[in-house]
Structures are given as structure tokens and as C-alpha cells.
């Protein structure tokens, strides 16, 4: 019986050691889980901050694009109006040159 008691005691000691090892593994895993949760929370906070920054940048960009589009429209209208002025000025100059040319050939203006 003593031998069986010793064998049983050996099994018991080994079982206790295995349980202690499992408890240590559980504690280590709990530490890793806590670290991972802290990292996750940190990253989620950073994502929230970056999302707010991105939203602000997008709003600012949209305003700038709208302003640029308005400037493009004004510039196109101004350039078109300026081209009309240039065309009218050219027409006026051609008419004036013809009139001056006609006046030079008019007998009323010849003085000798």
C-alpha cells in the first residue's frame, strides 16, 4: 500500500503542478488581454480624433472647391465679356478708319 500511496502522491503532485502552470498561463494571458484591450481603446480614441480631423478637412476642402468653382464661373464670364469688348473695339476702330478714310476723300475737307 505504501507504494500505491507514493504513486498516488506523485500523481497528486504532478496534478497540482499542472494546475499551477495553467493558473500561471491564465494570469499571463489575462495580462496580454488587458494590454490588448488598452491598445484597442487607445487606437479607437485615435480613430475618433482622426475622424473628426478628417471631417474638418473634408468640410474645408468642400468650401474651397465651391469657392474655386465660383471663381472659375466669374472668370469665364469676365473673359467672355472682355472678348466682347475687344470685338466691339475692333469693330469700332474699323468703322472709324472707314469714316476717316471717307472724310479724307471728301471734297469739303480738302484745303489747297
DSSP string computed for 18-82: HHHHHHHHHHHHHHHHHHHHHHHHHHHHHHHHHHHHHHHHHHHHHHHHHHHHHHHHHHHHHHHHH
Distance CA 74, CA 69 (A): 9
Instruction: Reply yes or no on whether the pLDDT at 111 is more than 70.
Output: no
Instruction: Reply yes or no on whether the pLDDT at 106 is more than 90.
Output: no
User: Residues near 95 by Cβ (< 8 Å), separated by ≥ 6?
Assistant: none
Look at residue 27 in the predicted model and tell me its pLDDT. Answer: 98
Q: What is the pLDDT of residues 1-30, one digit of tens each?
A: 788 888 889 999 999 999 999 999 999 999
Distance CA 98, CA 90 (A): 12
103 and 109 Cβ atoms separated by less than 8 Å: yes
Greater confidence, 106 or 65? 65
Q: What is the pLDDT of residues 39-52, one digit of tens each?
A: 999 999 999 999 99
Look at residue 60 in the predicted model and tell me its pLDDT. Answer: 98
Amino acid at each position: 500500500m505504501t507504494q500505491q500511496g507514493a504513486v498516488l502522491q506523485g500523481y497528486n503532485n504532478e496534478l497540482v503542478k499542472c494546475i499551477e502552470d495553467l493558473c500561471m498561463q491564465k494570469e499571463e494571458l489575462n495580462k496580454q488581454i488587458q494590454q490588448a484591450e488598452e491598445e484597442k481603446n487607445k487606437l479607437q480614441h485615435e480613430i475618433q480624433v482622426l475622424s473628426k480631423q478628417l471631417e474638418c478637412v473634408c468640410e474645408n476642402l468642400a468650401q474651397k472647391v465651391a469657392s474655386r468653382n465660383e471663381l472659375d464661373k466669374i472668370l469665364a464670364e469676365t473673359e467672355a465679356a472682355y472678348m466682347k469688348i475687344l470685338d466691339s473695339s475692333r469693330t469700332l476702330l474699323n468703322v472709324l478708319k472707314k469714316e476717316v478714310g471717307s472724310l479724307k476723300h471728301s471734297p469739303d475737307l480738302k484745303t489747297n
